[in-house]
Structure 1
Amino acid sequence: MWKGDARILSAWRWLNRKDVKQGKKAKGATQPGILYEFPWEFMGSYKYLLFLPFLYVVCSGQDDADNWCYHMLVIAGLRYAQSWVWNFLSRNHNLTDRTRIQDKGLDFNQVDREDNWDDYIILQAIVASIVHYLPFLYCSNGVCHAYKDFPLYDNKGLIKLILIHMGPTEFIYYWLHRALHIHSLYAKYHSHHHASFVTEAISGSVHPFMEHLMYTANFAIPLVGTWLAGGASISMFYLYLLGFDLLNMIGHCNFEFFPVWPFRVFPWLKYLIYTPSFHSLHHSRVHTNFCLFMPLYDYMYGTLDDKSWDLFYKAAAGVAVPHSAPSAVFLAHGTEFLSVFHLPFMTRSFAAHPFRTNLIMYILWPLCLPLLLVIRLIGRVFIADKHKLLQHRIETWVTPAFAMEFFFRSQWPRINSYIEDAIMSADAAGVKVFGLGALNKNEALNGGGSLFVKKHPDLRLRLVHGNTLTAAAVLHKIPRGVEEAFVVGATSKLGRAISLYLARKGVKVTMMTQSRERFEGIRSDCPAAYRGNLKHSLSIEDGRNCSCWVVGRFLTPAEQKVAPRGTTFHQFVVPPLPELRKDCSYTSLPAFTLPDSATGFRSCEMTMERRNVHACHAGALVHLLEGWTHHEVGAIDPDRIDVTWEAAERHGFRLVPDKKIC
């Protein structure tokens, strides 16, 4: 222990206080000091324009004999590529969940705070270039020496590079890191980094500008030192910068990467290379394990955590965190092809915002085909992310199919086999509630899930399509006092339930459907006293005098034009209607904001805003919290609409409001 421990722990408790609201972007440091922000922070995403001078020099043929700007761009590109790989692994529960070190989830606060994780790549490219283009670094015996004219490769120089790093750089970093844990410096700078209790691969580069200046100066020692020792080369920059990033990301990836056997066969390795679990203890216990990559310095100066190797062995064996089955699973699927990049483990920043396509994204189209092939080869449902709701573990799984595939009858057996296998796997694992999202519960595909309940009557889990809460959400958007409604898509699962509910409330409902038989079937389900409130329609023209439209299918521009001025389109159609009528209002798809007890949400559910989920997803979670023992499949029971709504409100789910209605 050292004297700053108590102050550090006090600052750590401040960082983790409960009054910090999830989702609000905040600085990580408790008392930000001078040079806290990077000079280009005001530029936002335009900061990448700082690479343009390098690109201009290369493209204009003005690069020097070392091809310096070319190599700086290539190294930067490789650093970004490597970070993507490790971010993919760090967030991918399917590949790395077994050796997880910490199972506490991340939130949007951390994602936002770490959004500038790559500023150091820009900084180091600029600083290295300034040094390279200086006329000279030193003069000796009347000869001035500049940091240039590098050979492509020097094997002895690479050995010198590693030795200089192991000596001066590791030593200086250790004591600099210790100094940054002194209360004043910790509060002003280093607490920004430690705000990430559970780290991701890129968390290791999330520091204030002042810290990065200090680190850059220290990490320049091996590069300049090797040059002074007569061993510098172009390959030196590749090895050191990419190797440094690799070790830094390994240390923060939150899954144990190293096997146990090398450390048992060669015990001295414990002092030469750290492990992810070793550095994880620094973030969880704060005042131990200060080294950069070599635990030797913690051992020498008495700051080696005595739990370091126990945690390593546990994590490597897959027992560092519990691996119990989730209480609830929600099964989603891809929408358009580009939606694959919205998965949490594909792009952290993109996934943290509602899914929107733009022209720049279509650059990724060439990657879609190989990704589609990989998904098809995997051939099974996979985990997208994990969360918590009160004491319950909840997970989002994804069917390896895109929306357009659900409309081809030839694909139905394959898709249903994915869903069925996932249900049976979840049932065997002890999952309590299995929610079906979007087209996974399509009526034509599997009868809203009833196919699986009939086929497997002994299911222990409860299968839930969640549409009862969806119907409740649509109905609660319809103002009280409405006397008539025009329902399009009236014989669908939701259209039927909404029509029956409104009819019972005394609303005159015109149900547009080409099937008289289906209309009569729904009408017969309505209590005799209210059947007169249901009217059959064959034409969209019958809605011309009704300002309350409930829409469950796509409407053409001509059909929308029929609605009178001031109409509100209450929709449950996917995708939502294009808002063509400026004199009308369009409700959004039914969605709920999660209660405060829901944690670990770091990505948006497709087009939903942060911490909002589709109504059917919320319906599955309410089913879990209420402990209901019935399957919610097939037709919606109108008698349960109010019951489900009240349960959702009681558990803190709040209907996402629409923009102003006409």
Structure 2
Amino acid sequence: MVALLSVWPWKNLGAYKYLLYGPLLSQVVYSMIYGDGSMDKSTWCLHLLSLWSIRYMVFALFNSIANMLFINGARRINHRGVDFKQIDLEWEWDNFLILQALMASIAYYTFPSLEGLPVWNRGGLITALLLHCGVSEPLYYWVHRGFHGQYLFENYHSLHHQSAVPQPSTAGNATFLEHLVLTTVMAVPILGPCLLWRNGSLVMIYCYIIIFDLLRCLGHFNIEVIPHQLLEAIPFFKYLLYTPTYHSLHHTQMNTNYCLFMPIYDAIGNTLNAKSWELLQKISSQSGCLERVADFVFLAHAVDLSSSMHAPFIWRSFASMPFSTRLFQIPCLPAAFGVMLAMWAWAETFTVSFYNLRGRLHQTWVVPRFGFQYFLPLAKEGINRQIEEAILKADRLGVKVISLAALNKNEALNGGGTLFVSKHQDLRVRVVHGNTLTAAVILNYIPKDVKEVFLTGATSKLGRAIALYLCRKGVRVLMLTLSTERFQKIQMEAPLDCQTYLIQVTKYQAAKNCKTWIVGKWITPREQSWAPAGTHFHQFVVPPILTIRRDCTYGDLAAMRLPADVQGLGSCEYTMERGVVHACHAGGVVHSLEGWTHHEVGAIDVDRIELVWEAALKHGLKPVSTRTEPTATAAATTTPCLSVN
């Protein structure tokens, strides 16, 4: 049984909890429409809605900056990544804002003297400051120490300390009772001037609440922004305002640094951590240095405007779920468009996420380009230049492996990375396209008893490797291509006794009796209509083909699930599930974990497909085989064609 007041009253409402703001909004709308003379009430409600909108933006801004790994660098205090567990734990972080809005509404109806507050009164600001320093600070300090007692900690306060990496959202992640107490602490400097000294004002209320939120976010920021030189120049300042480093020690060594914002009360209560200033000086003095260099970098790019918002530093919660276009993104499109233009002007890669696997740090860098640009002839040179700069940057930093994602390794763009390796032959960083593992994953999806497949995109990098592998297994491959020259070139690469298994076809009608299609080039619904009933569409085409045939099944893009012991992973890779990455990403991970020293660029080495597959399985990566089955009569998957002895 849960402890009294440990659970939020609206816990089961989900997103409907925001309807609790409804009475405030309805009061404002009613007064605007009917003008019933109750402007005092409607004005108060309007101020609450405005102030609470600002508070949401304050926390959102701090959350964004806290997750901008490309600018905060070595100033981060805790270098662990924020994982899915912590994001889910803090999902309802804004409950306290709803609570305080409701309590502010109750206070207005309870205390008539809150009506008609002036806009400005300097005395109220001074009174609020004195009440905060003299009443709220020591009150919070002693209450906070009390919450660290065994009973209160286990039943109420432990939730807050379950977050491994302090974030602005962590500040709001607490039980109902804790926020009732915190709201009381906040109310003293607000109600005191308004009710007792009668010198309160709207500016005082706005300033106090916003500054309170700013300081709460500062303490949970996980980025040290206070220069140690300031504390050296003004020694007593360290007792007047805490720092992110100071508060982080409370989360790692919980019996110290209890204060709200002023460490002087920790000094008085003899709970001040002696390492507070030493750690701050260390982090602040190293702010110009690089943090630990990643072993592996995955160089991605944005797909479109909507997907560009699917980044941890924009919406951490949104990024932690597989991407899909949502209604709330529509109002944000103009801002995203402006950011897109800024990205093009800046033209620098930036880090969006990182995770730790087997003691090695893995990062995702993003090239500031969108999918459609890769098909513009005029953009080719600029895109290659940015990819090249990213590779050279990784080389300078000491990164061991950099993997090119999606269109960054497009054959027409740079020959699958060959352009960069040929131009910079002294690279220490290994450039990898990861398509060897992609081919292995696709082959793993194909049942072992298949005797014939139909292959589109047959002369592409992946199509060539799949065709050559299957023909060696005695599988007839109907290769759809109009280029006889390219077909014959691939056919000549096959062993003499296997060349007859490669068959050139020029029309989709040739596959009307083949139930295994491997789609490497986008096909229209009309072209799909040539597939017989019961066909399964394997695919390595972006974007995936439309699932229109009710009598057929469709496979997803090649992907692999990362091992369970991965740490710090808190964002989904585009539409992939949590913990799942595209096969080319996984290919780069395997390359790094194995410590291979060769570049994986250009054509796929068919002889290495089984070797890479075996290495992936050895390191705990697992294939993700999902099938879209429009009907319940879809065929089940049999033993895969790919086998490793």
TM-score class, shorter-chain normalisation, is over 0.9
Aligned to 1:60: 30
Aligned to 1:475: 443
Aligned to 2:640: none
Which amino acid in the other structure matches residue 603 of structure 1? S
Counterpart of 2:192 in 1: which secondary structure?
helix
Aligned to 1:151: 118
Counterpart of 1:453 in 2: which secondary structure?
helix
Q: CA deviation at 1:596?
A: 2.2
Q: CA deviation at 1:365?
A: 1.4
Aligned to 2:175: 208
Counterpart of 2:529 in 1: which secondary structure?
helix
Q: CA deviation at 1:367?
A: 1.3
Q: CA deviation at 1:530?
A: 0.2
Quickly say closer, same or farther: Cα 1:320–1:602, change in 2 above 3 A: farther
Bigger Cα displacement from structure 2, 317-326 vs 646-655: 317-326
Which amino acid in the other structure matches residue 99 of structure 1? R
Q: CA deviation at 1:553?
A: 1.2
Aligned to 1:624: 592
- Distance, in Å, in 1 between the alignment partners of 2:81 and 2:480 is 47
* 1:249 alignment partner, one of 217, 230, 246: 217
Q: CA deviation at 1:393?
A: 1.2
Contact 1:464 1:633 in 2 (8 A): yes
Which amino acid in the other structure matches residue 428 of structure 1? R
Counterpart of 1:394 in 2: which secondary structure?
strand
Aligned to 1:263: 231
**1:521-559 residue CA offsets vs partner (Å, 9 max, x unmatched):** 110111111000000000011111000000011110101
Counterpart of 2:31 in 1: which secondary structure?
coil
Q: CA deviation at 1:32?
A: 4.7
Q: CA deviation at 1:581?
A: 0.7
Aligned to 2:79: 103
Which amino acid in the other structure matches residue 57 of structure 1? Q
- Distance, in Å, in 2 between the alignment partners of 1:170 and 1:322 is 37
Q: CA deviation at 1:205?
A: 1.3
Aligned to 2:8: 38
* 2:127 alignment partner, one of 144, 160, 168: 160
Aligned to 1:48: 18
- Distance, in Å, in 2 between the alignment partners of 1:322 and 1:427 is 14
Aligned to 1:176: 143
Counterpart of 2:242 in 1: which secondary structure?
coil
Q: CA deviation at 1:262?
A: 2.5
Contact 1:117 1:206 in 2 (8 A): yes
- Distance, in Å, in 2 between the alignment partners of 1:609 and 1:187 is 33
**1:296-318 residue CA offsets vs partner (Å, 9 max, x unmatched):** 10000100000000011111112
Contact 2:74 2:290 in 1 (8 A): no
Counterpart of 1:311 in 2: which secondary structure?
helix
**1:213-241 residue CA offsets vs partner (Å, 9 max, x unmatched):** 11112211111111121221111221111
Aligned to 1:122: 98
- Give the unaligned 5+ runs of structure 1: 1-30, 137-144
RMSD (Å) for aligned C-alpha atoms:
1.4
Contact 2:73 2:290 in 1 (8 A): no
Counterpart of 1:388 in 2: which secondary structure?
strand
Counterpart of 1:634 in 2: which secondary structure?
coil
Aligned to 1:459: 427
Aligned to 1:580: 548
Counterpart of 1:249 in 2: which secondary structure?
helix
- Give the unaligned 5+ runs of structure 2: 33-37, 636-645
- Distance, in Å, in 1 between the alignment partners of 2:107 and 2:468 is 76
Quickly say closer, same or farther: Cα 1:56–1:384, change in 2 above 3 A: same
2:47 is the counterpart of 1:71 = yes
Bigger Cα displacement from structure 2, 337-346 vs 528-537: 337-346
- Distance, in Å, in 1 between the alignment partners of 2:90 and 2:319 is 14
Q: CA deviation at 1:50?
A: 1.6
Contact 1:100 1:320 in 2 (8 A): no
Aligned to 1:113: 89
- Distance, in Å, in 2 between the alignment partners of 1:32 and 1:336 is 46
* 2:577 alignment partner, one of 609, 633, 637: 609
Contact 1:433 1:463 in 2 (8 A): yes
**1:437-464 residue CA offsets vs partner (Å, 9 max, x unmatched):** 1110000000000100011111111110
Q: CA deviation at 1:322?
A: 7.5
Bigger Cα displacement from structure 2, 338-347 vs 320-329: 320-329
Compute the TM-score of the two structures, normalised by the length of structure 1.
Answer: 0.92
Q: CA deviation at 1:261?
A: 2.7
Counterpart of 2:50 in 1: which secondary structure?
helix
Q: CA deviation at 1:98?
A: 2.4
Q: Which aligned pairs between 1:189-228 and structure 2 lie closer than 5 A?
A: 189-227=156-194, 228=196
